[in-house]
Amino acid sequence: MAPSRGPNALARTLHTTLANHKGPVHVARYAKGTSKYVLTGGQDRTVRLWNPSSGAEIKVYAAHGYEVLSISVSHDNSKFTSSGGDRSVFLWDVTTGATIRRISGHMGKINAVEFNEDASVIASGSYDATVRLWDIRSQNRQPVQVLDEARDAIQTLYVGHGIIMAGSVDEYVRTYDLRMGQLREDYIGYPVTSVVPSQDEHTYLVTTLDSHVRLMDATTGKMLNDFTGHSIESYRCRSCFDHGEASVICGDENGQVWAWDLLDATPLPPNPPPRVHDKVITWVEHHPTEDGEMITASADGTVKVWRHPAS
Amino acid sequence: MTSRLKRKLNDLGVDTQSSKATENFCLDVRDEKGRRRLHGAFTGGFSAGYFNTVGSKEGWTPSTFVSSRAERAKQQAARPEDFMDEEDLAELRESRQLVDENEEMTFADTEAELRKRQGLEADQQEDSITAALADALAPPPTESAGARILMKMGWRPGQGVGPRLTYEQRKAQDRTLGFASNEDDAEHEAKKHMYARRDTPVLTAARKDNAHGLGYTPGMSLNESLGVGGMKGPSGPRLAFGFGLGALNEAEEDDLDIYDGSMGPRGHSRVAYDALEDDDRIDMGSSSRPGNQGRAGPRASSSTSTQTFADGTPVLKGFVLFPEPVVLQNDQFPFPEIPKGWKPNPHRVWDVDKNKENIDVAMREKGAQPPKTRAEWKESLLSADQRGSLLGETPLPSQPRSVFDYLSQKDRERLQNVRGNIALPADQKVSMPPPPPPSEPQPPYIPGQIHIPHIHPSVAKAALHGFQPFTADPVKQSRYTAFLHYASQTSADSSPSSIGIGPMPDQTNDEFNKELSDYAKSATVFKPLSGAMAGRFTSSKILEMGPNIVEGLHTPDVRTTPEPDENGQIGKEGEEKRDEDPRRGAVRMGMYGPLTREVKPWQPARLLCKRFGVKEPEIEMTDADADARKAGEVDKSGTTTSPLAPLKTITEGLENKPELAETSSSVTRNLANVGLGEDETQGRDILTYERPSMDVFKAIFASDDEDSDEEDKENKHMDEEDHIPYFSSSMPDTAEMSQTEPTTTQLPATAKVTEPAATTEKVDLATFKPTFVPRADREARKDKSSDKKKDKKKSSKPALVSFDDEEGGLQVSIAASRRRKHKDEKDGERKKKKRKEKEKTAEEEDEGMWEEAPPPEVVKKMDMGGVTATPPVLDEQMPVDDAEKPAGPQRGRARAVDFM
């Protein structure tokens, strides 16, 4: 392979600001497919559907009784699931805005919720240190399986094809491999706030509360790279790959959006990055298909859409 | 126009004949009665009803009358009011006036009486005539009808009711009632007249509005109330000495003894009515006989020297005062003589007898154990059964059967497990549990000796698994666990040497005892939760090695440095710490990898695999793992929290016990015991079922025209059902296995070998799964082995709809065409597939279920070009990327996959 010519510069021009949330925004997810829409959930107990290019709020989904901490969109964009402080997973119909199901069973607030590939199973990770897997095709109210290996709150989940990854405050990233019947526990050493695998699921990014983002090898558990410079010490922040997985993006508690070269782990210019949010950036997500767009959600109540300057 | 209207109009001065009047008259509407119908908006509007009637426009609605046998009593007669209109009703109301509407019903006698009473207070000499005069001068009160009737009969206010009396009779009545008689009048003159009776005074009892007891006078000293110092004459409280007068004995002026006929200090007292007929009448009440004999006796003396009690209360009539005062029993004893120079010294008494309750005083000075709590005291007591067994009594023969007899064997075992994991021998009769071993009577507490507190073994065992309270202090922790181990042994003798730990060098026996009792207490406190509550909590598994906090003031002490005891558990702790270190150290140095990774077998739920579209992995799990997994899947009630690492080594034997019990009881599943709820003995007696012979079935179900051919078939069918796991060719499964399983896993090598066509009957046990094949196909296959292809194609369809038995051993393969969808198989697998395709053996075709789709174009191309040296991931990832998004990032850029 040719030597790296370096990643593209990060999209740092503010396109729109989605500012209808009252209170912190905990999560912002792109829809699936062409990802024309963005779903955000916040402390104000609502889930909002936005058009990021126009900045218009399309719909408000209000049924939660507590804050919304996690959202996952199904593969066909017809449903999404959300969870939060009310200890149950809500399954929504996107068009009608009504909840299809409310799945209860967790003992604590649910920090992470995720669909599997064909939206037949919902995985939910909770403060009660369990991951529960719910079959939403059947009417069974009991979880299909409870993964209770974690010893502290589950903070993040990833459900891929045949694997389930859970990052927990007990400083472990656990990979449940359904094919091999294996549980691989990777000790990170610091409370894990987000686990984002690359597209091929061979590597994954771990954000921990020691202000590090680590790129780990999923097969061996080795650390491939370590990205520092930002500060994440007490909030759940999410880091992600940019498009093409050439750089790593992470928002930090000062409201800065950091970007590193994936290979040499040097922060991309500008270094240090400008402060774009007033408070901690809770979620960073790059557009899954387009190169020059990403969203950041922050505790200051805004979600910002970033693009390359129109030239 | 009715005559009434005419009359009314005439009254109003309207001439109905004159034409002039008609104009005026026509202005207002009147009904036939001459009443104005319209009053105008300001004068009332319409009058009520329909044209001033009570009816409606429809007219008078007659009331319906329905009678039935059940409720015939409800017939109500029509009253005249029902037919009256408002005028008539108003008239009726007017006529209904009570006669004495304005009269007040006042009791004149009472008023007069009251006035008289007040007057008499001021002037005792006022006689009845004056009172009568005052009555006459006062404005006459309004009188009731009764009073009027009485007055017509000659009664006057102030007099009593009844026929007039002679002078003697009146005097007798006076005496009875206690009126003052003025005897200075000329009696002979007075005797000529008849006199009205004395008025009957009304009893008025004062309201008792205080909270004192009956007969108590507030403000009276004790001596006064006892009558000791009550020599105060008439002004003293009027309490009877020795005799209570009850409710009537209040020291108020209007509560004088009303039965006392004698002359009180006031000469007049109110008197209840006393009907006197003649001189020699029968006395009511207690009045003495008037006149002749009445003067003699006590009465005579009382008239002259009024007998009063010591406090001035007049003595009841008919009673004589006892001459000597009653001496109250004085229960007070005189103080003993105190010798001079004596000083109180309670220790002299306390120390006399050591068995008294103050015995601990001496002990406590030496730092002994505090007295037992109530729970401890209760525990130390023997139950009736225990006493009986101690005395060698045989238990009662007619002991009622316990609930345990009705439980199944399985439940009993579970209960036993719950009760402290004490495995009872299976043949032991549970209904008559042997009397519990008499808890060895607590040895009498001797200070200075080691005294081991007793805790139940189950509690100790549970506490071993539960929260460890002394983790901050390793020495203490080790001693604690040693104690628990000792206590969890059921057959432990109570000798101090068997406990394994002794008092520390600088520890006295008493301090050691205190420590042990602390351990016992914390064991009972920190034993893990049981039952449903346990599943709700997750215990922390992170070892908290906080600073060792020493209570009290800091004194530099040798004890702060941990010293190894005889078990050498300090060394273990240290080892454990060193064990912990590498992982941490690896993290610190960034050496993630094998040091920080732990790989465990994990069994995903079957349904989960189905939903994820992944073949269920076959992992050889240990029995313990399988059990744990089962427990995790079914319910999470078990507290499988593993204790601390050093304890693990110690408690290994303990932990293994329940698992062993479980595994021994778990029997391999087969069809015969699949519904028995893991209790293989359940229903053994009632489910002994023998299949009746075929003739019975035929006799019942088979119709007559069924030929023998059908019977044969049926027979065959039955046979086949008896051997349900039909061992069909398992080739599809093995092939599929080799493709879905990653090549690098620990799968047995035989699974990966693609079998040649000739060995179709050979079953690979590692991957074998029984498959349903419809009977017809099987038979057909048996018959025409040459035409296998066609048959297989036919049979492929039923195989697609085969079902999956969740519980039993029936594992029916999911349709192979679904598997094919998963595109992210490893490249090696794909290549293997390729190879297979190239071979195109008849055997491949034979596996009817496996419908191989044409490979993706990309793969084909790569294969043709022979790009075998490309990295395994790239050829899967990159083309897709490029195909989807030509405007994507440049190829030369670094990616995550570059690390691979």
**pLDDT value for B638:** 38
> Is residue B772 over pLDDT 90?
no
Banded pLDDT at B226 (limits 50, 70, 90): low
CATH class of segment(s) A24-223+234-243 = mainly beta
Closest CA–CA distance from residue B406 to any residue of chain A (Å): 32
Q: Which of residues 267-286 of A touch B (CB under 8 A)?
A: none
Distances B244 to B215, B381, B685, B846 between C-alpha atoms, Å: 7, 55, 85, 122
> Is residue B67 over pLDDT 50?
yes
Q: In this structure, what token pair is assigned to residue A283? A: 């979620």
**pLDDT value for B740:** 40
Q: Which of A145, A213, A220 to mutate to test the interface with B (most CBs of B within 10 A)?
A: A145
Of A107, A200, A246, the CB nearest to B877: A200
Is beta strand A145-147 parallel, antiparallel or unpaired with respect to A154-159? unpaired
d(CA B620, CA B613): 21
> Considering only CA atoms, which of B600, B619, B623 is closest in space to residue B609?
B619
| Segment B202-212, tens digit of pLDDT | 777 777 777 77
> Considering only CA atoms, which of B738, B812, B633, B615 is closest in space to residue A179?
B615
Of A128, A221, A245, the CB nearest to B896: A245
Banded pLDDT at B237 (limits 50, 70, 90): very low
Banded pLDDT at B41 (limits 50, 70, 90): low
d(CA A264, CA B421): 58
β-bridge mates for residue A51, sequence order: A56
**pLDDT value for A58:** 92
Judged by DSSP in three states, B661 sits in helix
Higher-pLDDT residue of B740 and B219 is B219
CB contact under 8 A, B894 and A263: yes
Q: In this structure, what token pair is assigned to residue B54? A: 């009570």
| Segment B70-94, tens digit of pLDDT | 766 555 667 777 777 777 888 888 8
Lookup result for tokens 């195989």? B799
> Is residue B675 over pLDDT 60?
no
| DSSP conformation class of A267 | B
**Helix residue spans in B553-638 (DSSP H):** 569-588, 606-612, 623-634
**pLDDT value for B685:** 55
d(CA B219, CA B779): 119
Closest CA–CA distance from residue B898 to any residue of chain A (Å): 8
Is beta strand A121-126 parallel, antiparallel or unpaired with respect to A293-298? unpaired
b/e per residue, B275-284, with b = 16+ CB within 10 A? ebeeeeeeee
Closest CA–CA distance from residue A204 to any residue of chain B (Å): 9
**pLDDT value for A299:** 92
> Is residue B605 over pLDDT 60?
yes
> Is residue B120 over pLDDT 70?
no
Nearest chain B residue (CA) to A212: B590
Closest CA–CA distance from residue A133 to any residue of chain B (Å): 8
Of B601, B632, B889, the CB nearest to A8: B889
> Is residue B623 over pLDDT 50?
no
Higher-pLDDT residue of B214 and B742 is B214
Higher-pLDDT residue of B468 and B834 is B468
**pLDDT value for B663:** 39
Which residues, 6+ apart, have CB-to-CB distance to A192 below 8 Å? A155, A156, A167, A168, A169, A171, A172, A173, A206, A207, A208
Distances B804 to B621, B777, B815, B847 between C-alpha atoms, Å: 22, 20, 11, 20
Lookup result for tokens 């109009």? B9
Banded pLDDT at B556 (limits 50, 70, 90): low
- What's the 3-state SS for B253-282? HHHCCCCCCCCCCCCCCCCCCCCCCCCCCC
| Segment A231-256, tens digit of pLDDT | 988 899 999 998 888 899 999 899 99
Q: In this structure, what token pair is assigned to residue B610? A: 């189905």
Banded pLDDT at B634 (limits 50, 70, 90): very low
> Is residue B465 over pLDDT 60?
yes
**Helix residue spans in B490-637 (DSSP H):** 509-525, 569-588, 606-612, 623-634
> Is residue B669 over pLDDT 50?
no
d(CA B844, CA B731): 9
Partners of A187 on chain B (C-beta within 8 Å) are 583, 587, 596-598
Partners of B636 on chain A (C-beta within 8 Å) are 146, 148
Q: In this structure, what token pair is assigned to residue A292? A: 């020059």
**pLDDT value for A115:** 92
- Cα Rg of chain A (Å, integer): 18
Contact in structure between B593 and B577 (CB atoms under 8 Å)? no
Q: Hey, where are the domains in chain A? A: 24-223+234-243
**Helix residue spans in B558-707 (DSSP H):** 569-588, 606-612, 623-634, 645-665, 694-701
Q: In this structure, what token pair is assigned to residue B554? A: 């800091």
**pLDDT value for B766:** 55
Q: Which of A187, A206, A226 to mutate to test the interface with B (most CBs of B within 10 A)?
A: A187
Is beta strand A38-42 parallel, antiparallel or unpaired with respect to B597-601? unpaired
Contact in structure between A159 and B585 (CB atoms under 8 Å)? no
Highest-scoring range by mean pLDDT, A194-203, B168-177, B309-318, B835-844? A194-203
What one-letter code names the amino acid at A215?
L
Judged by DSSP in three states, B775 sits in helix
Distances A39 to A98, A246, B650 between C-alpha atoms, Å: 15, 25, 54
What one-letter code names the amino acid at B581?
D
> Considering only CA atoms, which of A209, A147, A156, A170 is closest in space to residue B540?
A170
Judged by DSSP in three states, A262 sits in coil
Partners of A4 on chain B (C-beta within 8 Å) are 892-894, 898
Q: Give, for all 311 residues of chain A, the pLDDT tens digit.
A: 444 455 677 888 899 999 999 999 999 999 988 889 999 999 999 999 999 989 899 999 999 999 999 999 999 999 999 999 999 999 999 999 999 999 998 989 999 999 998 889 999 999 999 999 999 888 888 899 999 889 899 999 999 988 999 999 988 999 999 888 889 999 988 999 999 999 888 999 999 998 999 999 988 888 899 999 999 888 999 999 988 888 999 998 999 999 999 888 888 888 888 999 999 999 999 998 888 889 999 999 999 999 888 76
d(CA A59, CA B46): 62
The dihedral formed by the CA atoms of B425, B427, B430 and B431, expressed in degrees to the nearest 10: -160
Q: Which of residues 21-40 of A touch B (CB under 8 A)?
A: none
Reported residue count of chain B is 900
| DSSP conformation class of B472 | T
Classify the complex by whether its ipTM is higher than 0.90, answering yes or no. no
What contacts 24+ positions apart, CB below 8 Å, involve B349-353? none
| Segment B328-367, tens digit of pLDDT | 555 677 788 888 888 888 777 777 665 555 444 445 445 4
CB contact under 8 A, A144 and B605: yes
**pLDDT value for A126:** 92
**pLDDT value for B70:** 72
d(CA B24, CA B473): 119
**pLDDT value for A65:** 92
Mean of the per-residue pLDDT values of chain B: 60
- Number of neighbouring beta carbons within 10 Å of residue B100: 9
B630-634 average pLDDT score: 43
**pLDDT value for B84:** 76
Closest CA–CA distance from residue A193 to any residue of chain B (Å): 17
Q: What are phi and psi of A125, to 5 degrees?
A: -115, 135
B613-628 average pLDDT score: 63
A62 touches chain B (CB under 8 A): no
B27-52 average pLDDT score: 61
Q: Which of residues 159-198 of B touch A (CB under 8 A)?
A: none
d(CA B288, CA B262): 10
d(CA A170, CA A59): 37
Q: What are phi and psi of B837, to 5 degrees?
A: -65, -40
d(CA B582, CA B68): 101
Nearest chain B residue (CA) to A121: B611
Banded pLDDT at B562 (limits 50, 70, 90): very low
d(CA B703, CA B711): 11
